[in-house]
């Protein structure tokens, strides 16, 4: 994989996050370029992941709480020699034990941006209603009876 400058930046950020977050256990990361890094002190649990591409890496750095699950489901994050439960257990145990500045900052920024990102003025509400309810009658015919009743 040809690494970009932006990809390298996110690799560096993720490396710093993991170095500060994983104190106990052994957490193995296989990066998009195939290189490997081991985090932790080797005691306790063991887990590993393969990060398949730069896009997944970027998403993990910018929104880890949401991305871990999404990336696992879409194949961008793959457990290595363990299951997803092992990965989550090791990560969660370590994160609960430590104060991680980058993750705290991420959470604060999210709280600050939430009112802006979730603003729902009248115009946006109308668009949302139209998107969800102004649907073609053929769709309803698939699951409603002749009288458009749902039993």
Clarify whether residues 88 and 116 are in a common domain. no
Domain that holds residue 133: 106-141
Clarify whether residues 80 and 111 are in a common domain. no
Q: For residue 40, which of 101, 89, 103 has the smallest C-alpha distance? A: 89
Clarify whether residues 91 and 39 are in a common domain. yes
Q: Which of the two residues, 98 and 25, has the higher pLDDT score?
A: 25
Clarify whether residues 22 and 93 are in a common domain. yes
Clarify whether residues 119 and 58 are in a common domain. no
150 inside domain: no
Clarify whether residues 19 and 89 are in a common domain. yes
Question: What are 101-134's pLDDT values in tens digits?
Answer: 667 777 788 888 888 888 888 998 899 888 888 8
Burial class (CB in 10 A: 0-12, 13-18, 19+), 72: middle
Q: Which of the two residues, 103 and 12, has the higher pLDDT score?
A: 12
Clarify whether residues 39 and 88 are in a common domain. yes
Please tell me the pTM assigned to this model.
Answer: 0.68
Q: Pseudo-torsion of CA 102, 94, 99, 14, nearest 10°? A: -10
Q: For residue 46, which of 82, 10, 5, 99 has the smallest C-alpha distance? A: 82
CB 10 within 8 A of CB 32: no
149 inside domain: no
């Amino acid at each position: 994989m040809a690494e970009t400058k932006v990809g390298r930046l996110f690799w560096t950020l993720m490396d710093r996050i993991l170095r500060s977050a994983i104190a106990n256990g052994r957490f193995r990361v296989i990066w998009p370029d195939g290189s490997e890094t081991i985090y932790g002190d080797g005691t306790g649990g063991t887990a590993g992941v393969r990060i398949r591409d730069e896009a997944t890496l970027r998403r993990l750095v910018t929104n880890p709480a949401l991305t871990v699950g999404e990336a696992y489901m879409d194949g961008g994050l793959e457990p290595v020699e363990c299951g997803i439960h092992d990965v989550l257990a090791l990560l969660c145990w370590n994160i609960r034990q430590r104060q991680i500045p980058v993750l705290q900052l991420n959470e604060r920024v999210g709280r600050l941006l939430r009112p802006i990102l979730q603003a729902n003025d009248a115009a946006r509400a109308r668009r949302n209603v139209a998107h969800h309810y102004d649907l073609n009658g053929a769709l309803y015919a698939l699951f409603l009876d002749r009288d458009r009743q749902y039993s």
